[in-house]
Amino acid sequence: MKIKVFIVDDHFMVIEGLRALLQGAADIDFTGHATNAASCLAYLKKEQPDVILMDINLPDQSGIDLCKHVNENYPEIAVLAVSSFNQRSFIQNMLDSGAKGYVLKNVTQTELWQAIRAVAIGKTWVSAEVVQTLRQRQPDRPVITRREKEVLECIAQGLTNPQIAEKLFVSITTIESHRKNLLHKLNVNNTASLVRQAFYYEFISIQNEK
């Protein structure tokens, strides 16, 4: 019985590439592909592969969500994440969402085969480079509370304490306290470095318009 493999990726070239890499494996059968989450789900309603090779970046939905969904509704299907990002957050998110494996897009043919065989029988397969990344001690990210994060966002938006107080319906002194705690937690001593560190630790991102 061959291992049925389905591919989800929005890049034609990746699909073709994976397909080419799969060729020659006697025990692996390529059963189809989808370029977005929706058509993947549609396919799954009719047929279920053994393994899904899945990208993290899909046009309609994140691979994270799709992975979660597949895991909940088709627990027998193993998801093998195929990503170009060797970054802790991505890896952790995919594995947390139920992915059985994570390989990079520079994967070799033999490793891809191994990975597929591994996840197909319920094992976990993570590329060596990915394991490396996971092993690296992550910088101690300070723990800030929900409220502190709100205040931090307001600060970064350029609001003053009185303005923040008004916005959050609390006293000015409360904001001063939160601010004091934030300075301590992020180990800085003024607004400028507070904002810089907030970006560094990704408590806030640059998206917020003006």
Partner DNA sequence: CCCAAACTCCCGTTTTCAGGGGATAAACAG
Partner DNA sequence: CTGTTTATCCCCTGAAAACGGGAGTTTGGG
Smallest gap from Cβ 187 to DNA, in A, equals 10
CB of 136 or CB of 190, closer to DNA: 190
180 contact choice in DNA, its own copies, none (CB below 5 to 8 Å, kind-dependent): DNA
DSSP secondary structure letters along 136-181: SPPP------HHHHHHHHHHHTT--HHHHHHHHTS-HHHHHHHHHH
Q: Which residues here bind DNA, judged by CB under 7 A?
A: 143, 145-148, 160-162, 165, 168, 170-174, 176-180, 183, 189-192, 194
From DNA, its own copies, none, interface partner of 171 (C-beta below 5 to 8 A by class) = DNA
C-alpha–C-alpha distance, residues 44 and 124, integer Å: 22
In angstroms, what is the minimal distance from the CB of 1 to its own copies?
26
Residue 11 is which amino acid?
H
Instruction: Residue 64: name its binding partner from DNA, its own copies, none (Cβ under 5 to 8 Å by kind).
Output: none
List phi, psi (to 5°) of 10: -90, 0
The two most distant CA atoms of the chain are separated, in Å, by: 70
| Partner whose footprint covers residue 108, from DNA, its own copies, none (CB < 5 to 8 Å by kind) | its own copies
